[in-house]
Structure 1
Amino acid sequence: MMGLLLLLVAAVFWMALLSSNADAQGALGILTDLSSDKTEASAPAEPAQPAAENAAAGAEEQSRTMEFYVARALKARDVVLQILKSAPDLHETIGATLRSKGGHGDMGWLWATLPGVVVAIGLGLLGYRLVLMWGRRHFAHRYSEGVQPRADKLSYLFLRGLLMLAGLVVFVAIAGLILLFLNRGPVSAHQTAIVILSVTTLFMGLRIVFLNLLVPNVPSHRVFALSDKDALGLYRSLIVGTAVSALALALCNWMDKLGLPKDAHKLALIASALLSCLILTGIAVAYRYAIGALIRGEAGEQAPLWRRVLSRSWHLVAAVYFLAAWAVSSIRILLDLPDATGLVVAPLQALLMAIIAYGLLVLLIDRVLLPRLDTPKVQASLAADIERAEATEGEDDLDPQVTQAQAQAEAADMEAHRSPFRHLLDHGASILACFGGLVILARLWGVSITDGSTYVGGMIEILLIIFLGYMAYKAVEVAIDGRIAKEGPGEEKDEEAEVGGVGESRIATLLPIFRNFLLITIVAIAAMVVLSEMGVNIAPLFAGAGVVGLAIGFGAQTLIRDIFSGAFYLLDDAFRRGEYIDIGSAKGVVEKISIRSMQLRHHRGALTTIPFGEIQHVENFSRDWAMMKLAFRVTYDTDVEKMRKIIKKFGQELLDDEYYGPMFLQPLKSQGILAMEDSAMIARVKFMTKPGKQFELRKVVYAGLQDLFEKNGIKFAHKQVTVRVATGDEEEGPQPGDAAARAAAAGAAAAGALEEAVQDGDDPADQL
């Protein structure tokens, strides 16, 4: 909230310029009147002037505006010289005016009024204290030491503030009634008493605000991250500065009520504004580090750049503003212009109102919209529910510590789901509070920024539309991203796993597409409304969009086919993100799904993008279960029954294993001898697993069977190729070149056997 100061100060000079331009138009009549422009707008349009004439008119208008400012400055100088010329006689004029207010021509009426005012204020303060004592007795149960949630802190501070305001009302009622009955002097005496009572009430009201804002006496309920020393010092400085400024304001108001000389009143107002300027500048410089830490926030030196720059230079910006505001106030006072007073303290008033508004919005969020669930009260309720549930199930020996820990875990989990939405609402509340502070500051400067008929008012309406669109955009994003995270895979990706693991849920696959559709819709609607507010006729845009859509429908039939095919594939739940699929032309893990295509990540790393319209069939390896069948070769002297028993026992051992057992859906089984070749018997085993676990278990099964077969004398058979080569006449013995012929024949036979094995599907590269 302290960052609001930069926004308020930056907008002040622009609003002051607008206000000065408005004064210039009304005072000199040089600039064109807006109302006459609207009247003349209905007349037939005249031909456009050449660019040179427009430039000359703009230069002439700027020249006249500059002349107006020079004339205003000269007039202010003349008023100052006139006041200084009459300054030596001001004290005599003031004294004569005060003496003329009494019936005996002296100032006895003033000294007779003060005792009654003191008695009335004293009794009023007594009533104020009694109200506070009554409130402490009846509301002390709401106060507790220790760390409190922000909702409890704000509730306590607002309740204390309302109680103190009730006491202030009692103070005004008692003091006012006593003054009404005790004060029997002239009219000037009544006016003096009213001024003193009004200023005292103003001081007490500001004290209530500062006390509940800085909370120097109750550190556990302090909202701002200030140390006790800084909070107490800043509170005292503001109280002293308020008291001095209130006295100066009382003097000015008193002089105005009594009809003292106008020149004296102007000098008093200028001096009062200068005094407030110096006091606020001194406080800003003295506590620049403490408030700078508030601007940086919890991030500290890791805060964004603009916050760090503002935290180091905010007091310089404030000092420049106070000085400029005092100069503008002085000129307006001298020239009797409206909105002349209060410009120096205007940012402080706007900032206080913005902070109070933000506190109320936060209280509304935490108490009504999204109540916190990690509070002791909610945890106690959850613990009671857990105890009742366990008692119903017959659990008699309940451990209170375990129950409390379970309740805290459940409350923290529920609060974690609400936290993103609360942060979003807090951000929106801060934006609304900043906007409210800007409106208040503009009002204090005499500029209306909420009037929709003006350019500034139109910009404000556009900003409000953008704000609503932004909040809707972030709300959809937070809600759907949270659901996607909740619907993601329940188990983490195993580094040992290869392919075919469990993918995301169906809703987690569809939600990103739905989210993108909603976000695009929100942005499009907000853009259309903004264009409409800017005066753009959006009807042709809708008509053009219809024509473009029709053209796309005729000219991009492939695109339409891809979109509709993808929609039906997703509705049929043919695949989900994270699943391993084979579509014939490509296979891999579904990594990304868009509106017209999807991307498959092959297990060797390649990424393939496939339009939905080109998919003819989908083979999904990640649904429900996976069956793995493993073949191996054994020699002809193998005892098949013994091998079956070994495999069965090994399968039971795998089921009993803590790590591998949960992966099986059906145990490892022997399928006997499937085929008999020239040099070996082909045996096969099978097992059913969860999707994606079959490849990890395949390694374990192969390694285990190798060890068990070796221990039990079962041998694996190796492929052999027998080649018979004719050598001609055996009686003649071997001829030259026979060895090369035999080698070539053996190689050809081996290549043919290998090619046959590949065609039969024995290539190890095809195992995935």
Structure 2
Amino acid sequence: MQEHRGTSAPALRAAGVAQGLRLRERFLALSRHARAALASLLCVLATPVAARDNAVAMAEMAGDREHVRLALQVRDALGRAIASLSDFPALTREMLAARSPDGTTDWLWTVAIVLALAIIAGFGALRLTERWGRQRFRTVYDTVPRDRAARIACLLATAVLMAFAVLAFAATATMVTLAFVSGHPAARVSVFIALEFAVLVLGLRLVLHAVLAPRSAAFRMFDLTNRDAMGLYRSILGVGALTAAMVALCEWMDAMGLDENAHRLVVLATVGLTCLTLSGVIVAYRAAFNRLIHGDAGQRDGPGVARRIVSLVWLPALLVYFLAAFLVSGGRVLLDKPAALGLVGAPVISALIWAAIYGVLLLLIDRMLLPRLDSDTGRQKLLDDIARADETAGEMPDHDANRAQAAAEAIEAEDRRSPYRDLLDHGAMILSLVIALGYLILRWGIRISDDSSIVANLFEIGVIVFLGYMAYRAVEIAIDHQILLEGGNAAPGEDAEVGGAGESRLATLLPIFRNFLLISIVVIAGMVALSQLGVNIAPIFAGAGVVGLAVGFGAQTLIRDIFSGAFFLIDDAFRKGEYIDIGDVKGTVEKISIRSMQLRHHNGPLNTVPFGEIKFVKNFSRDWAVMKLAFRVTYDTDVEKMRKLIKKFGQELLEHPDYGPKFLQPVKSQGVTALEDSAMIVRVKFMTRPGDQFELRKVVYSGIRDLCEAAGIHFAHREVTVRVAQEPGDTRQFSEAEKKAIAGAVLPALDPQQGQASAGAGTADGR
């Protein structure tokens, strides 16, 4: 990122405009090249008269005559090369005879014989070395791999042994060649050219063995059937051998000084045949490649959107690529420009580079960064040991029990590390793809370090996005895991009561901290990406400051809410999951944002409360809770006897295996706390953790009722005695009006609220 210290704002804006104009010119140039390339293709394939005029007209419309000139040169060079085929045999015999001391071409038979002897001797050394390696390192070949790292290590060890075998082939073949044709330069060069490309084919065989493992499914890293793996191995190796033979022929023709036009045709045929055969391979095995792109067939949600898009476009994209590579390479050959033969095989080499780097990165992850505490194949054995220990509890020997416990701890620790390993695996895949793509870009002659290239800028942006993505996912996994350990994000139980214990303070603050970090990572990565695109980000920061000031002055309530919430959280006034009362609203804290929180009332409604509206907080979920219960007993009750019964009952509850641990203080009587007209009020209290008091309240109510009934202690009922003045001997019955008047006088004593309502109704009727 460029620094703009000491530069005025107009200069910064001018620099930003200039960078934007340069970016626009790059895109316009790219579109012009695309239109001109279409015109060039028409020129190459056109007939000499009518099509040339049409192509020239199209090119003039595109505004680029240079491409028309090049296209016509390509067509003329192709015509000259085809016309020279009639003289090629005679010229070839003449040139080859000139290379011989005796003026004949008999030395070619010597080359063929020596080459055959060198290849036979080299293959003998190759087989002997591989057999020695298998015998010497039998454990590498025959051991069943326990996990992914073991498979990759075995494949790499096998590749190293095969590399030694290839070196043995090269050394043996070289000695045979020097022994028989050391005195004839042309023959020696011819044999060495053939051996050079034989070594390249053997190197391709080595890489394909390590990537596809065609003869050993246990070592194979990719989800391929044995048939597909062997078919791909043979097909790609066959295409590589054919291409190597034709490239060797081209190099030999160039070394012998044969006709340049014929040499161009052979190079053109090599490029075309390679493109055609590779296209045939990818079409024949498109189903296998689609399975690899889709990934694990057992995924619950199926392949992601990116995988589905790639599975749809990869085949036509590769076919178009091979066509473009053939046209570009053939055109450069016919125009006597440096050949671009590597463009044809670049996708295959890129895929092999990706597979090799990806395997090495996975090995580093499993062996150095996050070694597995259990193995892929050994995990089931560990689970079996744990199940056996559970079934034979108390009967298993100590060493087996210790082993089962260690297995359980290993699996638990591995489960905690698995999200980080998945992230590293995903990053390794992306990084290896970026390296393979970088190789492909370099093969097309685009310098990634060149700031004037659009592709280079896009490549740098891709690296920034990759780093930002890895940081984003790492922060998200780490904080989510810590929230889970703190007991956060737990769903409330069905019987959750008022005042239940909430989450820890860390579990409350971590979600807010996580959102802050994730937003910061996204903003920083976006700013750096915009800077790489040539956008001047200094005005963006300045504009953000102005917007911040405007928000600060125009949204004072919002600022008050944010600062109030910050201080409430600093004071630890409430946490997620706690039951609080803030005056007008009460409920369980379900969500905390930067400016408000959501309270779920115990009856169901969800209330959103801005922090700035909170005057006080009454927290029912902190430290401890005291529950006080009142019992109405008759006046003839023995209070001391009842106190002893309650005390004994409290001791029994403390000893209960389920309820005892929930008491912080036992159930005890507070004696008579009030006297009413028809009853004495005896109160009982106990102390518990927040949320447990409601469950224990049911137990205490039920237990004391049973104790009182067994001890003959009676609970008092509300009653009112009404005395009516009557004359002696008056036995008349009360009228309905008198009965209602008596009931109206008694009702307030029994139910004050209902009595007030009745009184109000009577007053209304009176009016």
TM over 0.5: yes
In the alignment, is residue 500 of structure 1 matched against residue 512 of structure 2? no
For 2:369, the equivalent position in structure 1 comes to: 369
Partner of 2:207: 209
Separation in structure 2 between the aligned mates of residue 721 and residue 336 of structure 1, nearest angstrom: 121
Could you tell me how far 1:410 is from its partner in structure 2? 1.2
Give per-residue Cα distances to partners, 1:139-177, cap 9 Å, x unaligned: 444455335321121122122213322332343344334
CA distance in 2, matches of 1:237, 1:101: 37
Equivalent residue letter for 2:604:
G
Distance 1:691 1:599 in 2: 20
By how many angstroms is 1:675 displaced? 1.2
Match in the other structure for 1:527 = 526
* CA shift digits 1:662-699 (9 cap, x unpaired): 32223322222211100111112222222211111212
1:703 counterpart residue number: 702
Give yes or no for the alignment of 1:468 onto 2:467: yes
| Closer/same/farther in 2, CA of residues 171 and 24 from structure 1, 3 Å limit | farther
SS of equivalent residue, structure 1 residue 666: strand
**1:464-484 alpha-carbon deviations (Å, 9 max, x no partner):** 222222221111111111111
Give the stretch that moved more between structures: 204-213 or 288-297.
288-297
Equivalent in 33, 40, 43 of residue 21 of structure 1:
33
What does 1:726-737 align with in structure 2 at a 5 Å threshold? Answer: 737=737
1:488 match: 487
SS state at 2:343 partner: coil
The corresponding residue for 1:431 is 430
Name the residue aligned to 1:345. Answer: 345
Percent identity, aligned pairs only?
A: 52
Is 1:119 the equivalent of 2:131?
no
Q: 1:213-253: per-residue Cα shift (whole Å, max 9, x none)?
A: 11122321111112222222221222222222222222122
1:446 aligns to what?
Answer: 445
Partner AA of 1:742 in structure 2:
I
Q: Report how far residue 196 of structure 1 moved.
A: 0.8
1:344 alignment partner, SS class: helix
CA distance, structure 1, for counterparts of residue 625 and residue 60 of structure 2: 82
Q: 1:727 to 1:540 in 2, by over 3 A?
A: farther
**How far off its partner does 1:298 sit?**
0.6
Residue in 1 that maps onto 2:581? 582
Question: Does the 8 A contact of 1:113 with 1:185 survive in 2?
Answer: no
Separation in 2, partners of 1:748, 1:707:
31
Whichever residue aligns with residue 361 of structure 1, its letter is: L
2:562 partner amino acid = I
Distance 1:640 1:321, change over 3 A: same
Q: 1:166 aligns with which of 161, 164, 167?
A: 164
| Counterpart position of 2:198 | 200
Separation in 2 of the partners of 1:300 and 1:695? 46
Amino acid at match of 2:635: Y
Residues 140, 158 of structure 2: 8 Å contact kept? no
SS at match of 1:168: helix
**1:82 to partner: Cα distance:** 2.5
Deviation at 1:420, TM superposition (A): 1.3
Q: Do the aligned residues in 2 keep the contact of 1:76 with 1:334 (CA within 8 Å)?
A: yes
Partner of 1:38: none
- Matched residue SS, 2:344: coil
> Aligned partners of 1:282 and 1:541: how far apart in 2?
52
Instruction: Tell me which residue corresponds to 1:635.
Output: 634
Q: Which residue of 2 aligns with 1:334?
A: 334
- CA gap of 1:541–1:236, structure 2 versus 1, over 3 A, is closer
Q: Say if 2:373 and 2:413, in contact at 8 Å, map to a contact too.
A: yes
For 1:685, the equivalent position in structure 2 comes to: 684
Q: Secondary structure at the match of 1:473?
A: helix
The code of the aligned residue for 1:453 comes to S
Contact in 2 for aligned 1:132/1:163 (Cα 8 Å): yes
Residue type at the aligned position of 2:497:
E
- For the Cα contact (< 8 Å) 2:562–2:611, is it kept in 1? yes
SS in structure 1 at match of 2:677: coil
2:718–2:750 CA contact under 8 A, matched in 1: no
Structure 2 counterpart of 1:430, one-letter code: M
* Structure 1 residue 247 corresponds to structure 2 residue 217: no
- Aligned CA distance change for structure 1 residues 491 and 439 (closer, same or farther; 3 Å): closer
Residue of structure 2 in register with 1:42 after alignment: none
1:502-517 aligned within 5 A: 502-517=501-516
Distance 1:614 1:727 in 2: 64
- 2-structure distance, mates of 1:469, 1:112: 63
Aligned residue identity for 2:561 = D
Aligned counterpart, 1:77: 75
Which has the larger displacement, 208-217 or 539-548? 539-548
Q: Distance in 2 between matches of 1:544 and 1:592?
A: 32
Residues 1:421 and 2:433 are matched in the alignment: no
Superposed CA offset, 1:272-304 (max 9, x none):
222222322332233222222112111368223
2:598–2:608: 8 Å Cα contact kept in structure 1?
Answer: yes
Q: Does 1:98 align with 2:103?
A: no
Aligned match of 1:355: 355
Taking the aligned partners of 1:324 and 1:113, their CA distance within structure 2 comes to 37
TM-score scaled by structure 1?
0.82
Check conservation: 1:153, 1:223, Cα contact below 8 A. yes
Please report how far the alpha carbon of residue 67 of structure 1 lies from its aligned counterpart in structure 2 after TM superposition: 4.4
* Structure-1 separation of matches of 2:195 and 2:448: 34
Cα deviation, residue 89, structure 1: 2.8
Q: Distance in 1 between matches of 2:297 and 2:680?
A: 72
| Residue in structure 1 matched with residue 259 of structure 2 by the alignment | 261
Task: Show the counterpart of 2:717.
Answer: 718
Amino acid at match of 2:249: L
What letter matches 2:205 in structure 1?
A: R
SS of structure 1 residue aligned to 2:499: coil
CA deviation map 1:605-664 (0-9, x unaligned): 222223333333332222222221111212223233343344334334433443333322
Partner Cα separation in structure 2 for residue 243 and residue 336 of structure 1? 26
Q: Counterpart amino acid of 2:415?
A: A
1:159, 1:732 → 2: CA distance? 118
AA of the residue aligned to 1:346: A
The alignment's TM-score, normalised by the length of structure 2, stands at: 0.82
Q: How far 1:209 sits from its partner (Å)?
A: 0.5
Residue 318, structure 1, aligned to residue 330, structure 2: no
> Helix, strand or coil for the counterpart of 1:687?
strand
Query: Aligned-pair distance for 1:346?
Result: 1.8
Count, aligned residues: 698
Q: Is the 8 Å Cα contact of residues 365 and 424 (structure 2) preserved in structure 1? A: yes
* Counterpart residue number, 1:218: 216
Distance in 2 separating the partners of 1:670 and 1:360: 73
Q: Mark the CA change 1:490 to 1:554 in structure 2 (over 3 Å): closer, same or farther.
A: closer
Q: Identify if the C-alpha distance between structure 1 residues 300 and 312 changes in structure 2 by more than 3 Å, giving closer, same or farther.
A: farther
Partners of 1:598 and 1:152 in 2: CA distance: 51
Task: Report the aligned-residue RMSD.
Answer: 3.7
Contact 1:473/1:522 (<8 A) preserved? yes
Task: Provide the rounded CA distance (Å) in 1 between the counterparts of 2:96 and 2:724.
Answer: 143
Residue 305 of structure 1, CA deviation: 5.1
Residue 371 of structure 2 aligns to a residue whose secondary structure is coil
Call closer, same or farther: CA 1:452–1:149 in 2, change over 3 Å. Answer: farther
Q: Distance in 2 between matches of 1:362 and 1:245?
A: 32
Deviates more, 1:512-521 or 1:76-85: 76-85
| Shift of residue 18, structure 1, vs aligned partner | 5.5
In the TM superposition, residue 417 of structure 1 has moved relative to its aligned partner by 1.9
Which residues of structure 2 form unaligned runs of 5+? 1-25, 41-56, 383-393, 758-767
Code of the aligned partner of 1:351: A
Deviation at 1:320, TM superposition (A): 4.2
Tell me if structure 2 keeps the 8 A contact 1:566–1:612: yes
* Residue 358 (structure 1) shift: 1.6
> Do the aligned partners of 1:101 and 1:186 also contact (CA within 8 Å) in 2?
no
**Equivalents in 2 of 1:374, 1:113: separation in Å?**
58
Cα distance in 1 for partners of 2:736, 2:664 equals: 64
Q: Deviations over 1:712-752 (max 9, x none)?
A: 43322222244556789997976784344334434455553
Counterpart residue type for residue 479 of structure 1: A
Pairwise CA distance, 1:439: 1.6
Say which SS state the counterpart of residue 715 (structure 1) adopts.
coil
Superimposed CA distance per residue, residues 452-510 of structure 1 (whole angstroms, 9 cap, x where no aligned partner): 23232222222222222222111111111111111116998542331222211111111
Letter in 2 for 1:363: L
